[in-house]
A = this chain, B = another copy of it.
Amino acid sequence: MPKSPINFQVNAGDGQARAGVLRTRRGELETPVFMPVGTVGSVKATRFEQLEANDLDARIILGNTYHLWLRPGIETIRACGGLHKFIGWDRALLTDSGGFQVWSLGDLRKISEEGTEFRSHVDGSRQFLSPEVSMDIQAALGSDIVMVFDECAPGQAPSNEARQSMELTARWASRSRQRFDVLQSEGLDTGRVEGTTLTGAQALFGIVQGASHMDLRRESLNRTVDIGFDGYAIGGLSVGEEKSVMWEVVGEIGPLMPVDRPRYLMGVGTPEDLLAGVALGVDMFDCVLPTRNGRTGQAFTSRGKVNIKNSQWTTDTRPLDEACHCSVCQRHSRAYLRHLYMSGEMLAGILLTHHNLAFFLDTMRRVRQSIRSGKFTQFRQEFTDMVNSGAD
């Protein structure tokens, strides 16, 4: 078998749900996997030691091309030896391409065939991002999995507009692939790893677009697979459309994606969403929910969401989640966490974020076990019933 940048083996299935192992040049991870988001090179409010600790044990985190390019800048990160060395993390890193972030700037950006012109949110300077620039940046960052530069159509875009966007994404995917291959052959990947059974190079994932139009989604998938990537993502979802639309798209496209490559549903979602995605054959997820909601006082638990601001927790000495084994639930009460939050203490966000990440990551561990033992459907039902029973 020829060496590749990653190796993916599905070793169990239950319905369309599948469990496997993704080997990257920086270690193995079991799928389905949830990837904590570290936009600017920091999973917010979380030390890397905690990400590595047993109760989280995150094997892969995300970084963001757009944010890191604007600040601290690629020259800085290259001078510091690439993103892994810069942030002090030697497990796997996936970087988003910047396409979604530029798209979310709305009227501040102008799209052409060549790429996207926009104004920096940091200093207002005029910037230009294209497939080639995004690949250059991600090579300098040295992430282990690189995403193509895509154009995200608005969730409710009419068919002709969504078609133009999808076709542009397809042309950009092709340009991304070409530039990426040149960069790899020229050794411009800052994160290159020698002496592994893999190639040691970066992996490149394609992204399927097409808004809510099934014909466009199928065409996008075909055109992306024709180019050929190490993995395939579904993009342009969880951007304001109805949830039913999202699941319709994933239900249609998921089973059509190559079975021998990881399938990544970008930007999704709640714990229930993760399970719904797994049920449709998705292997990888990322979302800011556990970190963002942690900072705003919301905990995810096996009995549903806990709003720590609620006065009912004032003297409640129970942990956030009595079924949780994380270091926060082993030590701290709802009463204390509420006090920290009401007092504006940073420790509130630190601890709630940690618990939320632990809950997401542990849920995925349990998902994998249930798939391996052929009990995923049962697990999902019990999980959902428990979440809906409500925290007391």
Contacts and interface: CB of A to CB of B under 8 A. Distances in A.
B47 A345 contact: no
A126 to B, nearest CB: 21
Contact of A76 (B40, B339, B349): B339
A261 to B, nearest CB: 33
Nearest to A73: B314
Contacts of A87: 332, 336
Given A44-B347, A349-B346, A332 B88 contact: yes
Contacts of A315: 76, 79-80
B342 A350 contact: no
A270 interface: no
Interface string A278-315: 00000000000000000100000000000000000011
Nearest to A87: B336
A7 interface: no
A45 to B, nearest CB: 5
A15 interface: no
A138 interface: no
Interface string A27-47: 000000000000011101111
Contacts of A79: 315, 335
A327 B44 CA distance: 18
Contact of A342 (B45, B71, B314): B71
Contacts of A335: 72, 76, 79-80, 86
Interface string A345-377: 111011100000000000000000000000000
A45 B88 CA distance: 20
Interface residues of A, number: 40
B46 A347 contact: yes
A346 B45 contact: yes
Contacts of A44: 345-347
Nearest to A339: B72
A343 interface: yes
Contacts of A46: 347
A332 to B, nearest CB: 5
B40 A86 contact: no
Given A42-B340, A81-B317, A314-B76, A48 B331 contact: yes
A340 B76 CA distance: 13
A49 interface: yes
Interface in A80-99: 80-81, 85-88
A143 interface: no
A332 B47 CA distance: 11
Contacts of A295: 346
A333 interface: yes
A317 B85 CA distance: 9
A36 to B, nearest CB: 13
B40 A343 contact: yes
Contacts of A333: 80, 86, 88
Interface in A309-338: 314-315, 317, 327, 331-333, 335-336, 338
Given A46-B347, A88-B331, A346-B350, 8 more contacts: A40-B340, A41-B340, A45-B350, A71-B343, A72-B335, A79-B315, A88-B333, A295-B346
6 contacts: A40-B343, A41-B336, A41-B340, A42-B343, A71-B339, A86-B333
